[in-house]
Structure 1
């Protein structure tokens, strides 16, 4: 017999450890929060036009080409509020009626959403739109400051999705279009297609693509400096239902796949199909046990040497609606290539009394290796192109495109892991700081319209700031990065913002503790400035500490002059204090002593305090300070000093209004705050802080309850200090079984004060039927027992 109490204690300890570790790994709070009213960004939107979700940067023309619903714009790349030209691309009434007749919404689905924009040459661009569930492509040109729609419409099936809200991806490589989308109206025929003189596509088999959600696609020039004479590769990222796992429900996993640029298909087997298509699971494991995280977006950080290129990817949890967390993982191109070129394959096997299973293939591989590009070794064997590949190799890859190994992230774990609103898109910029090192800075968009700027310093997640770009809480659908400018698109508009705005850091302490690779404190200029790009250009006069957050070099600040405020007896008085950081703790002192937080006379919030019904005793000096902890150091700075002095002449009207509770609009609301001065991020920060406080209090209370329960059980004799489980060695009236206790007579309890058990039985269980033959079906016997002492035998 096991002791349930000890089991519960052990479970409680495990819960304590897991709760602390889980919370600490996800409670990444942005150091600064910039609200929509203060973001100082450049915006573009046009009345009646929605879904600005496709962007093409034309650096040669100085333009941002923007695709929206039934419209294409060219915007000044330096100031997107300046629209150079516009072209409308609407659906015809006939197409809209045809779409509506198929059960689609006329004003939502049956429109033309521009979903693809690619540059063909200096003057011509290629674009595709959903065209009321009838995908269509066309050419546009830009000349003399004007966009022109060529009107050379082409079938867009396989290039652009039918559904405007279905994910797809594409890339233009040497005038050949590689696209990943659906081939039919229902979206049930996924395809990875190359539109070229020799067009190729994937095979319609679940082992190739199983209800995929396409995310991203790009080319890697692996033929450059390749001793093996390898070919360039096109990599694609998507999620799909896993075929290799045997579950009752569908399990979604993330994938990376690749094809060779020079692939021409097979001669007999895999005609007009990819002979080089391989795919592998993409792993982004989080510390807590969970279902695989699902890929949402990818950014390719290109390098002059392609082997140093890195793919950054955003993942979100799929466990449940309550477990809302996101992660960012980074993958080395060479690690992905290694899995495809040297890894083992998975194969299908038939198991009795079961479905098909996928296991590791340990047999002999055909030569040339299935899925490999044509290289020097193949050419030496007389195989000059994929059309020359033997059927044995082609049949193998047709049936086994899945690799056994998964692609692991560079660091073995996520670079960024956080809970809260899900991440949607990301871009990554490499910045050279004052120490000469290059740091990848991640800009990630969220589902509620924020962009977060984050860095990973040797495993430490640091979110520098978050900026709300859109007034409404809408997802960011597209992010682009170009020459220190960030462009974000959503359903309602487009935003342009600089990657750095060092002027927002008000002091040396604020600038250094921000740990922003773009910014450093300029000692001679006494301001936070952008770190120069040249190697030694004035960096000796800069104070910056990214990994350590060491601000001890900052010059001493002159003492702050107090602000004199009048104290009107009976009034409510508000004293403001704005901290530089969400991570700082704000403290108030009155007359040199800490202000009591529990005193009902005060309301203390993140941007100040409110003194209720001021009296003469409230006059004096109030000091607001903030304490921020960084790498074991605490930095304290004075934010505000107020001298509250009693007003000699009291304004009678104000006092009467205060007495009657009638305050003018410039005073406070019922909560003690003016509506316009309520800190927008206050509730979110308090919520994040309070969650951890509530968890600590709950765990502390649970620990106390467990200790009390243990002491009570020891005192009552329910458990023994020497033997927790099993039968007790020493029997007492408190721990004797009922029958043994009834036989002890008067030795244990006086005959006139006997303890009896009064039980009332209600019908309901099968075991009770042996005692109550008249138990009816569906009833459940329940014993309700009460122990009591009696002093008279007549009460028995």
Structure 2
């Protein structure tokens, strides 16, 4: 195998600084490329990359073909002479991707050749003049494209002096976006949030601030009114609750005048006291269902329904809620023809401290809980308490890799006419997340319902008189089934409401709110696992690709102000793109999806403001190859417009559109007049430049060009790919350092190796002389007259054996050094 120096060079397109090359040898070409990539500073993204094979020496002749047939060395094993190496494709606008898994390996070329290789796909604007390299890591799908904040068109909203834009709500007609912030509520245009329509302020009086400060809270940051509940009350009013300087209060906001009506209500149990406490709420038929803290200290968690005629809440007991962190709540409407017709369910999602597992520290468990809308509490047992409250574990893990994601961050409920049932999408992180892992799991509603309606319960058992352990309950279950909604079967048995349930059933649910079964994800695995990131929020859009296949597109935010768009295929997750929504890398606190046909947006709220982004940036893909390789179900290449267009907003006939979700760019049109032009220091090289066409394993076709030139001094090379479909140019500056010294060191090492061999030969000859030429001892008398001759012969033999070797070494070394 030939050992030759190989390196990879990275540069910024807009930079004019030189990049100094270094060399190495003795490893495989992939290893060398990965270990000798020259990275610029992280302050700016890499725009282009190019790979170079630097083999040194001087080659003045122009070879007509790409292979080494003019070299004195044989071709690499397994590859015929005369064939050049296959080109690597440009697989991303930013170089996140690793080497393709099945890319053919490059041969080890002979030394004495400078070879700058660039490739371009046939088709579109031939954008693949830059090649990306990287190491693929388990659970590390990377965005194919990264858009910086300044590179894409985003609409923004920020009101001076106002912070914490953490609550978002769309109007019923989806034309207005309501934003709840610190001491303010705004109405914005849903099509362009930079256009403010209305504003209303709800500030805390100085008297309340003073009382709050007396309790040890910060007057500047905590003793304010953080809007936490923003729910539709009617067509003309919103229900708004705020922390109100640790005295939570609620009021009605008139949408016509956009003013608070002054109907202040006690917000205890509806809104948290502390802006740092978790909360969730949902309005169901004019009644607010909420999960929050019920006291100033936040030590009494509660899931409640605030109703004028039938208020309900959870039992204040550890088996019901154990230090929960509330995440999400939503109502699931029951089908009119269902077995529980007319009784809707409200689902709560949260993370709490486990009671069923024993660990050295507080082990967190993600939960889903369910209550029935028709619940009215018990007559004697569980008065004004939920009689339908049940909770179960949510499982999101990869057991084969010992990965358990046990902290729930957010939930999104996906509803669609083509779905038989709603699907819950959840974002999870590990409790000890020192490696920055995040996962997305999806759950069918029926899976959760099966656990609640037919699963076994858990019960507490006393061990050694003081220790309590939770185990599966295998005893008799009273009828009607504890925790079940009042359905047709219960009504047939004369149980018309929860007030008529027997005490035995009510006492059982009071003691057994925890189910033994777990709610497992679809396919028993996460849809997406990503390392080196902390996901915070998620929304999911369901869209149909050109071939009719339906995809669930996940939009997941990070704690660094970025938005990932991902789609899950049968055997892999693909992150289409990453968009930096907030330039200051602040955490995204909330996401909201506007999925109107033809007007789809994602809204993101943070501490500093709100950002509006389209669901796709199709127009940013400049060629058919880029458009197809994005594997974005929203985007397709229009042959008529010669542009990447939004599939759901284009007027182009479907027969003129190109989309391939597998990323196969062979479907793209290919120009036949591709040729290369090379320039050195601004002057076109008048020399034959060999090119060769290669078909890659995924169906793409690339053209490969080699430039052979002497690397005697620093030079700037530019390669242009010209065709009727468009032109692309890329360049690199090569700086030579210690050119002569580099070769001198190489031959010095070889000379030292030859001298070592000669020294070994000398030692061997001396040993032979000792063994066969005993001239140091007197010869026997009968051989005395022959001894001198024998000694002379030995000395002559020794000299004649050593001298030619030494002369050969001296002459060879002298000749080689003179050649350099």
Query: Residues 257 and 622 from structure 1, CA distance in 2 versus in 1: closer, same or farther, beyond 3 angstroms?
Result: same
Does residue 434 of structure 1 match 2:525?
Answer: no
Task: Tell me which residue corresponds to 1:640.
Answer: 729
Deviations 1:764-796 (A, max 9, x none): xxxxxxxxxxxxxxxxxxxxxxxxxxxxxxxxx
Tell me the distance in 2 between the aligned counterparts of 1:305 and 1:405.
Answer: 29
1:304: Cα distance to partner? 4.3
Query: Residues 446 and 642 from structure 1, CA distance in 2 versus in 1: closer, same or farther, beyond 3 angstroms?
Result: closer
Q: How does 1:229-308 map to 2 (within 5 A)?
A: 229=341, 231-286=343-398, 287-304=400-417, 307-308=420-421
Q: Decide which of 191, 200, 209 is 2:312's aligned counterpart.
A: 200
Task: Tell me which residue corresponds to 1:186.
Answer: 297
Tell me the distance in 2 between the aligned counterparts of 1:640 and 1:560.
Answer: 12
1:292: Cα distance to partner? 4.1
Task: Report the aligned-residue RMSD.
Answer: 3.0
Larger radius of gyration: 2
Deviations 1:563-582 (A, max 9, x none): 867459xxxxxxxxxxxxxx
1:34: Cα distance to partner? 0.5
1:227: Cα distance to partner? 3.5
Does residue 498 of structure 1 match 2:609?
Answer: no
Q: Decide which of 490, 493, 508 is 1:381's aligned counterpart.
A: 493
Q: Decide which of 566, 572, 584 is 1:454's aligned counterpart.
A: 566
Query: Unmatched 5+ residue regions in structure 2?
Result: 1-100, 102-134, 684-701, 738-820
CA contact (8 A) 1:563 1:642 kept: no
Query: Residues 245 and 638 from structure 1, CA distance in 2 versus in 1: closer, same or farther, beyond 3 angstroms?
Result: farther
SS in 2 for 1:254: strand
Tell me the distance in 2 between the aligned counterparts of 1:617 and 1:459.
Answer: 48
CA contact (8 A) 1:270 1:398 kept: yes
Q: How does 1:557-568 map to 2 (within 5 A)?
A: 557=671, 559=674, 562=677, 566=681
CA contact (8 A) 1:137 1:153 kept: yes
CA contact (8 A) 1:73 1:85 kept: yes
Tell me the distance in 1 between the aligned counterparts of 2:446 and 2:614.
Answer: 32
Query: Residues 281 and 168 from structure 1, CA distance in 2 versus in 1: closer, same or farther, beyond 3 angstroms?
Result: same
1:307: Cα distance to partner? 4.6
Task: Tell me which residue corresponds to 2:3.
Answer: none
Q: How does 1:567-606 map to 2 (within 5 A)?
A: 592=707
Q: Decide which of 536, 555, 559 is 2:669's aligned counterpart.
A: 555
CA contact (8 A) 1:233 1:260 kept: yes
Q: Which deviates more, 415-424 or 61-70?
A: 61-70
Does residue 142 of structure 1 match 2:245?
Answer: no
Query: Residues 320 and 512 from structure 1, CA distance in 2 versus in 1: closer, same or farther, beyond 3 angstroms?
Result: closer
Task: Tell me which residue corresponds to 1:718.
Answer: none
Q: Decide which of 235, 258, 266 is 1:155's aligned counterpart.
A: 266
Does residue 107 of structure 1 match 2:204?
Answer: no
SS in 1 for 2:258: strand
Q: Decide which of 617, 623, 627 is 1:511's aligned counterpart.
A: 627
Deviations 1:453-473 (A, max 9, x none): 000011311000000011111
Task: Tell me which residue corresponds to 1:757.
Answer: none
Task: Tell me which residue corresponds to 1:334.
Answer: 446
Query: Residues 552 and 350 from structure 1, CA distance in 2 versus in 1: closer, same or farther, beyond 3 angstroms?
Result: same
SS in 1 for 2:575: strand
CA contact (8 A) 2:304 2:313 kept: yes
CA contact (8 A) 1:444 1:451 kept: yes
Task: Tell me which residue corresponds to 2:177.
Answer: 64
1:334: Cα distance to partner? 0.8
Q: How does 1:476-487 map to 2 (within 5 A)?
A: 476-482=588-594, 483=596, 484-487=600-603
SS in 2 for 1:204: coil
Q: How does 1:647-662 map to 2 (within 5 A)?
A: none
SS in 2 for 1:540: helix
CA contact (8 A) 1:445 1:451 kept: yes
Tell me the distance in 2 between the aligned counterparts of 1:319 and 1:222.
Answer: 38
CA contact (8 A) 1:209 1:240 kept: yes
SS in 1 for 2:514: coil
CA contact (8 A) 1:590 1:621 kept: no
Deviations 1:473-523 (A, max 9, x none): 111001111121111110011001110121011100000010000001112
SS in 1 for 2:666: coil
Task: Tell me which residue corresponds to 2:802.
Answer: none
Query: Structure 2 length as normaliser, TM-score?
Result: 0.67
SS in 1 for 2:633: coil
Task: Tell me which residue corresponds to 1:573.
Answer: none
Tell me the distance in 1 between the aligned counterparts of 2:283 and 2:652.
Answer: 40
1:362: Cα distance to partner? 0.7
Task: Tell me which residue corresponds to 2:654.
Answer: 539
Task: Tell me which residue corresponds to 2:52.
Answer: none
Task: Tell me which residue corresponds to 2:604.
Answer: 488
CA contact (8 A) 2:678 2:717 kept: no
CA contact (8 A) 1:591 1:622 kept: no
1:382: Cα distance to partner? 0.8
Q: Which deviates more, 103-112 or 449-458?
A: 103-112
Q: How does 1:765-780 map to 2 (within 5 A)?
A: none
Query: Residues 641 and 202 from structure 1, CA distance in 2 versus in 1: closer, same or farther, beyond 3 angstroms?
Result: closer
Tell me the distance in 1 between the aligned counterparts of 2:394 and 2:732.
Answer: 61
Q: Which deviates more, 130-139 or 53-62?
A: 53-62
Tell me the distance in 2 between the aligned counterparts of 1:589 and 1:377.
Answer: 73
1:525: Cα distance to partner? 1.8
Task: Tell me which residue corresponds to 1:416.
Answer: 528
Tell me the distance in 2 between the aligned counterparts of 1:594 and 1:396.
Answer: 86
SS in 1 for 2:361: coil
Tell me the distance in 1 between the aligned counterparts of 2:419 and 2:645.
Answer: 33
1:28: Cα distance to partner? 1.0
SS in 2 for 1:25: coil
1:438: Cα distance to partner? 1.0
1:167: Cα distance to partner? 1.7
Higher relative contact order (CA 8 A, sep 6+): 2
1:526: Cα distance to partner? 1.4
Deviations 1:591-630 (A, max 9, x none): 62599xxxxx9xxxxxxxxxxxxx76636554799xxxxx
Q: Which deviates more, 385-394 or 240-249?
A: 240-249
Task: Tell me which residue corresponds to 1:51.
Answer: 164
1:319: Cα distance to partner? 2.2
CA contact (8 A) 2:681 2:717 kept: no
Q: Decide which of 140, 155, 163 is 1:42's aligned counterpart.
A: 155
1:544: Cα distance to partner? 1.1
Does residue 88 of structure 1 match 2:201?
Answer: yes
Aligned residues: 578
1:562: Cα distance to partner? 4.7
1:166: Cα distance to partner? 1.7
1:538: Cα distance to partner? 2.1
SS in 2 for 1:236: strand
Query: Structure 1 length as normaliser, TM-score?
Result: 0.69
Deviations 1:385-428 (A, max 9, x none): 00000000000000000000100001211001001120000100
Query: Residues 588 and 205 from structure 1, CA distance in 2 versus in 1: closer, same or farther, beyond 3 angstroms?
Result: farther
CA contact (8 A) 1:532 1:539 kept: no
Q: Which deviates more, 374-383 or 273-282?
A: 374-383
Tell me the distance in 2 between the aligned counterparts of 1:49 and 1:296.
Answer: 25
Task: Tell me which residue corresponds to 2:461.
Answer: 349
Task: Tell me which residue corresponds to 1:168.
Answer: 279
Task: Tell me which residue corresponds to 2:190.
Answer: 77
Query: Residues 277 and 497 from structure 1, CA distance in 2 versus in 1: closer, same or farther, beyond 3 angstroms?
Result: same
CA contact (8 A) 2:459 2:512 kept: yes
Q: Which deviates more, 200-209 or 24-33?
A: 24-33
SS in 1 for 2:193: strand
Tell me the distance in 2 between the aligned counterparts of 1:244 and 1:532.
Answer: 49
Tell me the distance in 1 between the aligned counterparts of 2:560 and 2:384.
Answer: 44
